[in-house]
Amino acid sequence: MIQLSLPALAQAERAFVTRLRLDRDQLEAGDSLLFESDATSATFAGPHGLLSIEGVLPSDLDGDVVLMQPDIQRIERLLRAGSPHNTLLITERCDQLCVMCSQPPKKTHVDRFDLLEQACLLAEPGIVIGISGGEPTLYKEQLFGMIERVLEARDDLEFHILSNAQHFGQGDVERLRDPSFRRVTWGVPLYASDAVLHDEIVGKQGAFARLEESLAWLMLSGARVELRTVLVSPNLDALPALARYVTRRLRFIDAWSIMQLENIGFARNRWDNLYVDHSRSFAPVAEALTTATLHGVPARLFNFPRCTVPEPFRHLAAASISDWKRKYVEACGTCAERDACTGFFEWHPEEAVEGVHPL
Ligand code: SF4
């Protein structure tokens, strides 16, 4: 597992963002250059003074954009150079309480918008920056402002923003119609076409109705939307109906991602009640995928190891698990499709990998 947080010491007393460089010729404004290193630490010098990071080779940090927090003496690797999986956490507050939430919400919010905006401006060229929470649109004004300023300054960047879509309204339409927002994709969870079932899964009465309203505003604004459906026992048999709803009512979406469960957060203690062994219960998933495909809705499978998916649907299984939390098991050692396979979450239970076989 790749460590995203590392112990560090800095001369500065306040939090700051910098990009780490090993080569003086690559230095730009805001960068810190490797000053000295040994087997256990690397020290960089930059606009905020000296920054000493422990427990990692300097070559592993080259080009990373990091947030140094002197009060806790740690750096956070916000944007790792060369990684396609960079996600910025906007807030840990949320107004839903999904049964399988991988990052259970907190009541407090730490405003880091200024620092995150600086990080985005230092991003390597052409990347997609993920935004997540909590619920980022609880701070919609700050979020929109940050997105607009970054996209204006950097026409090579895109954003993918996870949002429960409980907060879009008519007043957002004109703003979201700006051409810069064509470089933003909203990842929106929808768990069932039955309002009661969806509301139960997200732990909020009325959430489905509010989501439908938000989706209408997003459609009117020409927004790019990826629907996300986490597979859990309560919605397994409801997937075919959801597929019919999506193809009938939400044809404007860019993609529909059906996602396997992550054994972390709330799902850890509820695993036995929530986890679906799709290798034994694939029929509803297959029906949903077929309906979507027949109607031209691009559907795909996230977090589904390729060998556990029936061959006719295997091409839809994307390598979706982020590199820093992905693992492979012993059987994967000789697999010809490992590079295209998502593998498993680092914390996936060993007993839930039965039947895995090299392709
Ligand atoms: S054997 Fe491993 S790498 Fe190959 S498809 Fe199965 S899970 Fe993926």
Taking Cα atoms as reference points, which of 294, 276, 253, 269 lies closest to residue 347? Answer: 269
Beta bridge partners of 31: 19
Contacts of 180 (CB under 8 A, 6+ apart): 147, 148, 151, 152
Residue 27 Cα, ligand 1 centroid: separation in angstroms? 41
Altogether, the residues listed in the chain come to a count of 359
Q: For 195-233, what is each residue's pLDDT tens digit?
A: 999 999 999 999 999 999 999 999 999 999 999 999 999
Q: Which of 301, 304, 330, 341 to mutate to test the pocket of ligand 1 (most atoms within 8 A of CB)?
A: 341
Ranges of CATH 3.20.20.70 domains, the chain: 87-353
Nearest to 163, CA basis, from 70, 96, 64, 74:
96
pLDDT band at 16 (very low <50, low <70, confident <90, very high): very high
| pLDDT value of residue 1 | 81
pLDDT tens figures, 297-346: 999 999 999 999 999 999 999 999 998 899 999 999 999 999 999 999 99
The band of 165, judged by pLDDT with boundaries at 50, 70 and 90, is very high
- At 27-36, the pLDDT tens digits run 999 999 999 9
Q: Which atom of ligand 1 is nearest to the CA of 356?
A: 6
Predicted local distance difference test score (pLDDT) of residue 354: 72
The candidate with the shortest Cα–Cα distance to 218, out of 264, 180, 266, 186, is 186
pTM for this entry = 0.95
Given a cut of 90, is residue 353 above it in pLDDT?
A: no
Assigned CATH class of 87-353: alpha beta
| pLDDT attached to residue 237 | 98
